[in-house]
Chain A
Amino acid sequence: MMLHELLTEKTIQIQSQADNWEEAIVAASRPLVEQDCITGGYVAAMIHNVKKLGPYIVIVPHIAIAHARPDQGVHQLSMSMLCLEHPVSFSEKEEHQVRLVIVLAAVDHESHLQALSQLAALLSEADKIEKIMAASSVKEVMPLLQSLADS
Chain B
Amino acid sequence: MRILAVCGMGFGSSMVLRMTIEAVLKETGIDASVATSDISSAKSERADLIVTSAEFSELLLGMNIPIVTVKNYVDRQEMKEKLIPVLNNKGA
Contacts and interface: CB of A to CB of B under 8 A. Distances in A.
Contact of A120 (B8, B10, B20): B20
A56 B55 contact: yes
A124 B76 contact: yes
A41 interface: no
Interface in B16-58: 16-17, 19-20, 23, 39, 53, 55-56
Interface of A: 49, 53-57, 59-61, 65, 67-70, 95, 104, 106, 109, 112-113, 116-117, 119-121, 123-124, 151
Interface of B: 7-13, 15-17, 19-20, 23, 39, 53, 55-56, 71-76
Given A65-B13, A116-B16, 16 more contacts: A53-B8, A59-B53, A60-B72, A60-B74, A65-B12, A70-B11, A95-B71, A104-B12, A116-B15, A119-B16, A120-B16, A124-B74, A124-B76, A151-B19, A151-B20, A151-B23
